[in-house]
Chains A and B, each alone.
Chain A
Amino acid sequence: MLQRYSFSNESSFLQKLKSFDFVLLFCILIVGIISSFSMYSTDGGEFLYHTKSHIIRFSVFFMMMIFLSFINIRYWHATGYIFYFFILALLIWASFFGITASGSQRWVNLYIINLQPSELMKIAIIICFAKFFHRIQLKNVNNLKNILFPIVILVIPIVLVISQPDLGTSILIALSGLVVLWLSGVNVKYFVYSTLVLIIAAPFVISFLKPYQKRRILTFFDPEKDPLGAGYQIIQSKIAVGSGGVMGKGFLKGTQSYLEFLPEKHTDFIFTLYSEEFGFIGSILLLILYAIIILRIIVIGSSSRSFFGRLFCYGFAASLFIYISVNMCMVLGLLPIVGSPLPIMSYGGSSMLATMVGFALVMSTKIYSRQLII
């Protein structure tokens, strides 16, 4: 059934261009434009450093995504492990020679740019797992050997990222990996067991956390307890969103961010600023855009003839969804504050690069949807 279309894996450039997913492309572009405006607003309505570099990054990576889309999905599959180990190597490099900023050693200096390998690891882990489970038959999935390998693959980068320390990213890497494991048909009981173990182990884990991380978790349960200390971010973020109302305060009129009550408004709290200025309507619009993007990725995945493309698309869609919802729940006070950027919207090159690489693979899956991968 799948083999029926096995011939036409080579098509002309025009055909490739035609099979581009323009809905996805359009939605990404719109979110990119929204993010540029938001960045302009965080700079206080001036065309300053953050806005400039964000727009440059978005444009460069967006173009890069389109170019990468034309790379056959086959090559992505072929280089999947190499890609993973390359990122892993960068992570190790970062652990020893990385640049330290705000108490965490997470950047490597690549002369042109400072890269945050942990962000790229989010994508690498999906590619790596997709490749791994691409070959494995369903009945063999739950073999001990086939379970242990991905766990090792997953645990190494997580440990590295936690030790940076960067709890937020490591949780997101773990979730991305687990999602692919889940999709690949790993037995439900493993998830149930490991969840139980996690719950039991949680108190011990928490006792190993840094004081500021502990405080964040405690603050989440009662932000008003310490309104000027750890609870400040959540409270100010909620005030900003809540005061936005239905229509928002208007572009460049978000007093909470303009008057610097919002912390990290460029990065993790960009949605707060956007929501304050554009209100409920604007927020829903952004959510719809994200939903369309996710939906398109799933549709693209489901039309792929290869398990690799399918697993990657499903995994990437789920991860994207996780990034978005973790970030939003965090700024809306539904989750503790862990560093997690909002895809495309947040300021940060590595995160943007990782997301765009992901989109490029999705596009490639679409263009080469009939490609069989042996």
Chain B
Amino acid sequence: MISSGEDSNVRKLSTINRRMFIISAAKVIVFGGIITRLFNLQINQNKKYLTLSDKNRLREWKLPPIRGEFIDYFGNVVAGNSEVYQLHVVPEQVENFKTLMVRLKDILNLSPKEFSRLVKKKNSQKPWETLVISENLTWEQFSKINFFLHDLEGAKPVLSVVRDYPYKDNYTHILGYVSEASVKDLNENENVKKNHVPGLRVGKSGLEKALENDLIGTNSIQRYEVNAYGKRINQIDHVEGIKGKKIRLTIDTEVQKYANELMAGKAGSVSVMDIYTGELIALHSSPTFDPNLFLHGIDSEEWKKIIKDPLKPLMNKSISGLYSPGSTIKPIVALSVLENDVISTKFKVYCTGKTEFYEQTYHCWKKKGHRSVNLREALKQSCDTYFYEAARLLGVDRLNETAKKFGLGEKVFDNMFIEEKKGVVPSTKWKKEVIGENWYLGETLINGIGQGYIQTTPLQLCLMTAQLANGGFKIFPKLVVEKNQKTYEEIKYAIDKNLEDFKRVKKDSFIEKGSEFFNKFSKSNYPLFRNPENIKFVLDAMYGSTNEVFGTSYKSRFDDPKYKYAGKTGTAQVKRITEEERELDLKTSQIPYEQRDHALFVAFGPYKKPRYALSVFIEHGGSGSATAAPIARKLFKLIVDRHEIREKIRTSNLMDI
């Protein structure tokens, strides 16, 4: 050290210490800053970061909701859920997706089309979402998969639940079917959107679609802790979803099955209804198919067979099929003329087999003619000539009014089914609006025998018959047993009371106007007639049609009073019959299928104390009395036989409430 070292060193020392002090001050400030930051993050914003941390580590997996079941009136499951073996792959858990898929392709014998569909589907969904490789493994495939499982990393054979229709083709059209939800389904239905998981099946038609909100249920939710790569570490909790509602149908499976049997090989429809409660005992459309085929993707052969079938199995003919009602409209025409006091029951027409009108010839179905007939005989023997005259006198607009009242030309189930059709009951106004032409009188005439513009669904005819059979009171057809629905006793009471009121009112005064008049009756099951005697007359004529000689369905009668029923046949032409054809008078089997007449039959019974109404419709079935009525006869026996069992169930259910 040099001489002035002492002094210099002191100054150096103090400089170092001073500067150290400045640094120390900076240290305090920085440490203070760090502590403030920690305080801010860990105490002030703790909640926010805790949430973020949970969001990081927890992931929810929605499981498909379990769909509600359908049971028939007696509690048999008609649409349930069955367990199937499926093969699932979660792409993110697979190291090499391609290799796995190629292996699976070999093992499961996947077609190239199926293979590319799966690859496409995988690319459209999130990597942690399950990809269903196979919907329904056979036991053989399942055991094969399990055998190779050790080198199929990421493939998971699982037990899953899918829709199952144990009665196969018997409920096809009522229930509709389920299939994978489309974008349209998601946009249409808030509930479907909320509960949606990939592969969720939703109703596409029938009740499966109409009652979607009740059936769908809610998701089960599994909450997993996942790591940064999305791998599930452990399950945190499991929230059990609510199973969809169980829906009880009004249908009796035995009757439904029998209807299917009777209609085998024919195209057409059978509807059976309780005339008081409106409960449908059977609603069958033929031909039908097995909806189970659709569950796991139908193979193209089967699909082609269904879609190319000229008998149109996909169509629900009971509510979507529009046909001319033919002579089955005659009870309504008869009622309408009586209600409007156009003719009396004693009015007679002489039928020669045809009648001229404005230089047009209108034929009666009976070439030789019915001779002189009154209204009852005309209805019983289905004399066309009489009804030409009756319709002419009545006019199309008054007929329209009566027909609409009894449910023709209106949807039976409101807007419940997307596939239901309204049909047409023409009027002069209708023709002007829809076709843009004036009404011709000649059209009124053919309307009177259920030809021309008029088109109804088979179920509408059944409803019409039921509403006549119960004495002319409004009923509301239903397929589903609801908790708060009116019982048979309540409805019967309302109808009887309405009838009594009606008689009393009628006795008291005639001055009351229509609206005031109807206000006196309860809203539901209100009368559809002006005079109950007119209804009685029509029902009696229908009785004659089935149970008296010369009646059109006399051959299909029952002599046993237990089964005795009344009905009306109908044979609807599908094309104009030329003079030559009329001369030829061909048998049904000699005419090409598409040109054959539709066969119809409506009936109710047992006659003494009516309870059920039915309509049988056979597309291109020929004559109503020859083909439709015998089917109705067989069916009616079963319905009556089943009545007691049904009543037993009904009353025991009553006690539950």
Contacts and interface: CB of A to CB of B under 8 A. Distances in A.
B389 interface: no
Given A137-B8, A259-B56, A291-B31, A246 B17 contact: no
B11 A243 contact: no
Interface string B1-27: 110011011011101110110011001
Nearest to A184: B16
A257 B31 CA distance: 25
Given A242-B45, A245-B46, A302 B17 contact: yes
B48 interface: yes
Dominant SS at the B interface?
helix
B121 interface: no
A260 B56 CA distance: 11
B229 A260 contact: yes
A289 interface: no
Interface in A178-207: 179, 182-185
Given A246-B42, A259-B225, A334-B37, A239 B20 contact: no
A307 B57 CA distance: 54
Contacts of B228: 259-261
A332 B38 contact: yes
Interface string A232-245: 00001011111111
B20 A298 contact: yes
Contacts of A302: 17, 20
Contact of A255 (B23, B42, B48, B53): B53
Nearest to B44: A242
Contact of A138 (B12, B23, B226): B12
Nearest to A255: B57
Contact of A325 (B2, B13, B30): B30
A356 interface: no
Contacts of A294: 27
B50 A243 contact: yes
Contacts of B8: 137-139
Given A241-B42, A246-B42, A283-B42, A259 B227 contact: yes
Count chain A CB atoms within 10 A of each CB in B11, B27, B35, B225 and give the residue with the most.
Answer: B27
Dominant SS at the A interface?
helix
B12 A182 contact: no
Contact of A284 (B11, B38, B225): B38
B33 interface: yes
Contacts of B31: 287, 291, 325
Contacts of A244: 42, 46
A2 interface: yes
B347 interface: no
B52 interface: yes
A302 B23 CA distance: 14
B42 A334 contact: no
Nearest to B10: A1
B45 to A, nearest CB: 5
B413 interface: no
A307 B41 contact: no
B34 interface: yes
Interface in A300-333: 301-302, 307, 310-311, 314, 318, 321, 325, 328-329, 332
Contact of A242 (B2, B5, B27, B52): B52
Contacts of A346: none
Nearest to A188: B19
Nearest to A239: B52
Given A138-B8, A242-B45, A255-B57, A334 B33 contact: yes
B307 to A, nearest CB: 48
Interface in A253-279: 255-256, 259-261, 275, 279
Interface in B205-250: 225-229, 233
A242 B40 CA distance: 8
Interface string B56-67: 110000000000
A182 B30 CA distance: 18
B42 A239 contact: no
B60 to A, nearest CB: 16
Contacts of A311: 16
Given A137-B8, A256-B53, A287-B35, A243 B46 contact: yes
A137 B4 CA distance: 10
A183 B34 contact: no
A37 interface: no
Contacts of A243: 46, 49-50, 52-53
Given A2-B9, A287-B34, A280 B15 contact: no
A255 B37 CA distance: 21
A201 to B, nearest CB: 24
Interface string B537-555: 0000000000000000000
Contacts of A185: 12, 15-16, 19
Contacts of B48: 242
B42 A314 contact: no
B511 interface: no
Interface string B108-139: 00000000000000000000000000000000
Interface in A113-142: 137-139
Contact of B19 (A182, A325, A328): A182
B45 A307 contact: no
B233 A259 contact: yes
B83 to A, nearest CB: 34
Contacts of A314: 16, 20, 23
Nearest to A307: B12
Given A243-B53, A259-B57, A284 B227 contact: no
Interface in B315-345: none
Contacts of A256: 53, 56-57
A177 to B, nearest CB: 14
A328 B57 CA distance: 24
Nearest to A310: B16
B38 A283 contact: yes
B226 to A, nearest CB: 7
Interface string A219-242: 000000000000000001011111
A30 to B, nearest CB: 18
B649 to A, nearest CB: 57
B584 interface: no
Nearest to B49: A242
Contact of B16 (A183, A245, A279): A183
Contacts of A241: 38, 41-42, 49
A350 B43 CA distance: 35
B645 to A, nearest CB: 62
A200 B19 CA distance: 27
B11 A138 contact: yes
Nearest to A291: B31
Contacts of A329: 30, 33-34, 37
B39 interface: yes
Contacts of B37: 329, 332, 334
A255 B54 CA distance: 9
A318 B19 CA distance: 11
B655 to A, nearest CB: 57
A253 to B, nearest CB: 11
8 cross-chain pairs, A with B, having the tightest CB-CB distances, nearest first: A242-B49, A243-B53, A259-B227, A242-B41, A280-B42, A138-B12, A260-B228, A243-B49
Interface of B: 1-2, 5-6, 8-9, 11-13, 15-17, 19-20, 23-24, 27, 30-31, 33-35, 37-39, 41-43, 45-46, 48-50, 52-53, 56-57, 225-229, 233
18 contacts: A182-B19, A183-B23, A184-B16, A185-B12, A185-B15, A236-B56, A242-B50, A243-B53, A259-B57, A259-B225, A275-B38, A279-B42, A284-B35, A287-B31, A307-B12, A314-B23, A321-B27, A329-B33
Given A183-B16, A243-B53, A314-B23, 5 more contacts: A239-B56, A242-B45, A256-B53, A259-B56, A261-B57
Interface of A: 1-2, 137-139, 179, 182-185, 236, 238-246, 255-256, 259-261, 275, 279-280, 283-284, 287, 291, 294, 298, 301-302, 307, 310-311, 314, 318, 321, 325, 328-329, 332, 334, 374
